[in-house]
Amino acid sequence: MPSSTSLTGFVATAVVLLLIPGPGVLYIVARSLSQGQRAGLVSVLGLSAGALVHVTAATAGLSAILLTSAAAFDVVKALGAGYLIYLGMRTLFARRPPDGVEVSPPRSSYRLFTDGVVVSVLNPKIAVFFLAFLPQFVEPSRGPVPQQVLLLGLIYVVLALLTDSAYALLAGSLRHWLGGRVIQGPLPRYTSGVLYVGLGVSTALTGRRQ
């Protein structure tokens, strides 16, 4: 187990990184704006579940494949980018109801959770991040490296769950505050759709540099 000094440094660094809005936060905000706080929180759970897959891969050393194999990295990147762009286009071109009042197409909790898992698992930047970030706080002299990586990864996921949930609640509150015709109009749909497409393009342009 890492020393208390390493753990403290890890937690402090992780919190700072998590508070800086990134692709995951934008995804959660888009979900919360389109369907409310509950949808955002379910999406957070999905992203966290997907992050656990990356933690497991980092612990087993499988994430190194994404750094050493250009083909593997490009396949994961293409799948992740394509899925995000699909979500964005689906949102942007959703059929308008006959009464002219636009409401973003609702997603069931299962679909929200599944989408979050898929988006997280197919994000190669997360795998590269875990492989590059976690080892900096590992102390080989204090025990097996895989166990320390697993512990740090789990701590990071828990912290991400808390900070991402805060963003979901804030975005959901903003949705509630706007209310009325703004929420029933095209703004949430366009905002969510553009965010998804933007995230997809960002993923597609991700390089393999460490």
Residue 209 banded pLDDT, cuts 50, 70, 90: very low
- Interior CA angle at 99 toward 95 and 101, to 5°? 70
Q: Rounded distance, CA 196 to CA 114, Å?
A: 16
Of residues 197 and 186, more confidently modeled = 197
Across the range 92-97, mean pLDDT stands at 61
Total residue length of the chain: 210
Q: Residue 146: what are its φ and ψ, rounded to 5°? A: -55, -40
pLDDT at site 210: 44
Across the range 165-180, mean pLDDT stands at 81
Contact 120, 46 (CB under 8 A): yes
Which range is least confidently modeled, 3-17, 148-162, 196-210?
Answer: 196-210
Q: Rounded distance, CA 203 to CA 27, Å?
A: 12
Residue 98 banded pLDDT, cuts 50, 70, 90: very low
Q: Which of 127, 131, 147 is nearest to 139 (CA)?
A: 147
Tell me: the pLDDT tens digits for 140-169?
Answer: 777 777 788 888 889 999 999 999 999 999
Q: Rounded distance, CA 142 to CA 110, Å?
A: 41
**Which residues, 6 or more positions from 21, have their beta carbon under 8 angstroms from its beta carbon?**
29, 167
Of residues 56 and 178, more confidently modeled = 56
Whether the predicted model's global pTM rises above the 0.75 cut: no
Structure tokens at 35: 């369907």
> What's the sign of the alpha-carbon dihedral 148, 151, 154, 159?
negative
